[in-house]
Amino acid sequence: MVRQVRFFYEALRRMRPGIPLLHLFGRMKLQKRTSTYADFCKNKAACLFATDVASRGLDFPAVDWVVQVDCPESLATYIHRVGRTARYTSAGKATLFLLRSESEFVGQLNASKLPAKKMAVKRNKMLDITPKLESIVAANTDVKHLAQRAVVSYLKAVHLFADKEVFNLREIDIGKLAHSYGLPSAPRVKFPAAGGIKAIKVAKVKAQNEFGYVPRKNENDLRGKIELEQDDDEDLLRVKRTARDLLDDTNASEIPRIVGSPGRTKEKLKILSSGVTRKTEARHVQFDESGERNL
């Protein structure tokens, strides 16, 4: 996933691990992708963070390890990922990190004659980078933004994956997931509603009932329009009100009548109210020495 790749690259390169770090994803410009590929191939030791764009059509020579930090969506994706190592007569290794709720994927691998064995983790060899990651996220606004978007993107992807025997969103502790990205708390996530177009139509009908108007046969005669605005994170229903709505909500006695001839846009309009008539006669007004008006 693009946001995960960008976050881990930006965060880990600030830790200066001692080897060159590179990143590769589909949204990069062709020239940048080409130069990144060439740099990775010519380096004797390097670490490349990449999306699934690197799992197909690219031949990386002498790749020792392929590390998958998330469960692939399908067996085909898994095969393409691990296929970046052990090219031709070369040897290679692949590691896959899974959540407990994703252990069903191991059964799918064994059933497809792709045996996978569980590796025991040596606790004394582990290095906790969480405090350092938290300090980097707190000190860099851009990295924090990437971390938040990466968490949201991952959760939405799990929500949309078809294989629900492997990907169960309810089994994910969102708070711990956000903490692993160095965030103090989990970002707000709004998942897309199921039902597609049908759900959108139902939402429109509910909004029409709520705001108290019924659509007519001619859509141009609607007193208001409901629009569904889609953002990266939220779907908002907004009612746009026309001038006619504003007139209906205002007391008619408080609105001055406006009289004008139709079709003449530049003609002056005469406002009818108390003390003002349609036709006024021009006449001279005289005042005496004391300033009083002579009638």
Q: 91-136 pLDDT, tens per residue?
A: 889 999 999 999 999 999 999 999 888 888 888 989 999 999 999 9
Share of the chain above pLDDT 70, in %: 65
Average pLDDT of the chain to the nearest whole number: 77
pLDDT at 80: 93
Phi, psi of 79 (to 5 degrees): -65, -40
d(C-alpha 119, C-alpha 123), whole Å? 12
Tell me: the pLDDT tens digits for 19-54? 999 999 988 999 999 999 999 999 999 999 999 999
183, 144 Cβ separation under 8 angstroms: yes
Mean pLDDT lowest among 50-59, 157-166, 267-276:
267-276
Q: Give residue-wise pLDDT tens across range 145-192.
A: 999 999 999 999 999 999 999 999 999 999 999 999 999 999 988 876
Q: How confident is the model at residue 61 (pLDDT cuts 50, 70, 90)?
A: confident
- Residue 240: what pLDDT? 43
Q: What's the confidence (pLDDT) of residue 72?
A: 95
pLDDT score for 95: 94
pLDDT band at 229 (very low <50, low <70, confident <90, very high): very low
Among 8-12, 147-151, 157-161, 224-228, the least confident range: 224-228
Which own/partner pairs from 92-96 qualify as long-range (CB within 8 Å, at least 24 positions apart)?
Answer: 92/63, 92/64, 92/65, 92/66, 93/64, 93/65, 93/66, 94/65, 94/66, 94/67, 94/68, 95/65, 95/66, 95/67, 95/68, 95/119, 96/68, 96/71, 96/72
DSSP per-residue letters across 41-107: HH-SS-EEEE-GGGGSS---TT--EEEESS--SSHHHHHHHHTTSS-TT---EEEE---GGGTHHHH
pLDDT at 16: 93
Identity of residue 140: N
* 232 pLDDT higher than 90: no
Question: Looking at residue 294, what is its pLDDT?
Answer: 62
Of the two residues 212 and 114, the one the predictor is more confident about is: 114
